[in-house]
Amino acid sequence: MADKRDCYEILGVSKGASDDEIKKAFRQQAKKYHPDLNPDNKEAEEKFKEVNEAYEILSDPEKKSRYDQFGYAGVDPSYGQGQGGFGGAGGFGGFGGGFGDIFDTFFGGSFGGGSNTNAPRQGSDIEITADITFEEAAFGVKKELSFKRIEVCSECNGSGAAKGTQPETCPECHGTGQIKRMRQTMLGNMMTQSPCTRCGGKGKIVKTPCSACNGQGRAQKNKKIRLDIPEGIDNGQYLQKRGFGNAGANGGPYGDLLIGIRIKPHELFKRKGADVYCEMPIDFVEAALGAEIDVPTIHGKIKHKIPEGTQSGTSFIIKGKGIKKMLGKGDHIFKVNVDVPRNLSSKQKDLLRQFQALDEGNNLNKNNFFEKMKNIFK
């Protein structure tokens, strides 16, 4: 198996980074490589998977601790197998899962203090999508969004026990959630500990479960939120509502709600940053003689003068009529396309032939082209 990149390197943080720094780095990387923003990009898709795997490890205190000690071998028993010797990054002979697996094999449990399964843990984040129109993105909008989240059960206040009852201390582990055992091994007597099987490592037993949450202490609820989407927001950006994610475990805080913005395509306009682009058809006479035309913008119709002799494909800029940015507003940029008439009458064709005869030698672009062609084929 090829060596994997270091999790901290993938997220672009130092080994001593805090949970908030790791979460912030993950969001930045996940947005950068998200498949919706990189369609048909296999490299971005692989990077997105790599970022998610790194965050899954570093956001879990227990996995992070094992990874810091033993690398990928501490979190993936299959990593390093079949490479011989020490099995790559932390494997040990036939024990591809690293030293943690060796102690489990010899002693039947975790070595040393182990993790505290009853410690408060923050709830997971929730991601939803808000679909808005081009104009709503340009000028801002208030949206009511619906989503589901896991909340602390209001019936039992998170205890998992039915009203009028309380969880009881587990008689097997005496509330610690861990069972310690002394075992004889090839290295001598060793103290090991493992999660209590009677209470599932919780330290408490619920004899009469709460009917509202089936003894889980948490339940899924439908929620609504009124969201202020600011003007100028762009496609693929995220808004964050702290504490609106899933409930934490063991009294831990709620996670966050992340709202991804998806802007519907517009019939006329396209956008690059704060600038708005569109294409305008003009007729042959307007292009030749010049004209004042009505240009559609997100701020309404604006009159703009087209100079005589305008060529098809020429772009014009209307300053400050784009989308709001940090300082001022972007511009409105429109390109004119000369609409060549079809299905001409005999009279119209005769008039155009007369015009062509009078215009002989006045078409500089055409004359220059034929001059170059003559030089090539001399």
Q: What is the pLDDT of residues 29-74, one digit of tens each?
A: 888 888 777 778 888 888 888 888 889 899 888 888 888 877 887 7
C-alpha to C-alpha distance for 245 and 124, rounded to whole angstroms: 6
Q: What is the DSSP string of 331-351?
A: -EEEEEEEE---S--HHHHHH
Residue 96 has a pLDDT of 38
When mean pLDDT is compared over 77-91, 95-109, 184-198, the highest value belongs to: 184-198
Query: For the residues 165-194, what does the mean pLDDT come to?
Result: 79
Cβ burial, residue 201 (10 Å; 0-12/13-18/19+):
buried
Of residues 348 and 264, the one with the higher pLDDT is: 264
Residue 56 has a pLDDT of 87
How far, rounded to the nearest angstrom, does the alpha carbon of residue 323 sit from its chain's CA centroid? Answer: 23
Query: For the residues 224-250, what does the mean pLDDT come to?
Result: 92
Of residues 164 and 143, the one with the higher pLDDT is: 143
Closest CA to 190 of 117, 110, 114, 90: 110
Low-confidence winner among 80-94, 112-126, 211-225, 254-268 (lowest mean pLDDT) = 80-94
Quick check: helix, strand or coil at residue 73?
Answer: helix
Residues 6 or more apart whose CB falls under 8 angstroms from that of 201 comprise 117, 118, 177, 178, 195
Closest CA to 173 of 194, 159, 191: 194
